[in-house]
Chains A and B, each alone.
Chain A
Amino acid sequence: MSRLVNLSDAVYEELTRLKKAKGASYSEVIAELLPGSQKHGAKTDNWDSLIAWLRERDRNFKGKREKIDHDLILYGASRDSP
């Protein structure tokens, strides 16, 4: 599902240099490679609150599991709901 990328030493060193020079995180340095990137009003600095919110919702779920073809997701068009 996911993979951690092994970077060459040269790329890693360059990213680390930029990170230190800017006093920024890796994602901020990387995001500069994609000019349209931005952070929204950051209120939390980890994913724990989102995970807790999702876990709370899961606790009361008694519905049926639904298999979805993830290869066909196109703005919801292929995901007909009753």
Chain B
Amino acid sequence: MVLRVIVLDSSFLISLFLRQDFNHAKAMGLFEKHRTDEMLLTDEILFETLSVLNRKESMEFTRAAYERILSNSKLTLIYLNENERKEILAEFLAQNTRLSLADVSVVHACKRTLSAALSFDRHLLKAIGN
């Protein structure tokens, strides 16, 4: 059986929103391919993405992007609770790779919900098993 739920990663979202990004066209193509899918986003990834968008574009653009992501019923935003943050920190400290805490939150969400990820980070995809 196949379940279409996708966890979004900052590398993908940043490429999607930044038109100057080398992977922008690729991100647009992937997003269109998954346009009917339900998507999950962790607060860690949202914060990271918004920070980069503000740095690379503007606060006005960042606000518009934020509104457009979160106004969609296909998206579920996951606010990690204290226990999950502890689990993610433990997973982060136990890793033998160089994933960030935000990356580990994506791996955690994928494994916990049996979902796939949209990402351009090869280390993250490898950790998920994509």
Cβ-defined contact, A63 with B19, below 8 A: yes
Q: Tell me how many residues of A have a C-beta within 8 Å of chain B.
A: 57
Which 10 pairs, one residue from A and one from B, show the smallest C-beta to C-beta distance? A42-B73, A27-B38, A36-B79, A70-B11, A12-B1, A40-B70, A76-B55, A43-B71, A37-B78, A76-B52
Q: Please, could you name 30 A-B residue pairs with CB atoms under 8 Å apart, sorted by A?
A: A1-B130, A4-B2, A5-B3, A5-B116, A7-B2, A9-B1, A12-B3, A26-B3, A26-B4, A27-B5, A27-B38, A30-B113, A36-B80, A36-B84, A38-B76, A41-B70, A42-B72, A50-B72, A51-B28, A54-B16, A58-B24, A61-B20, A65-B21, A65-B24, A70-B23, A70-B120, A73-B14, A73-B121, A76-B48, A81-B56
Give the complex CA separation of A76 and B56 in angstroms: 8
Q: Which of A3, A61, A81 has the most CB of B within 10 A?
A: A3
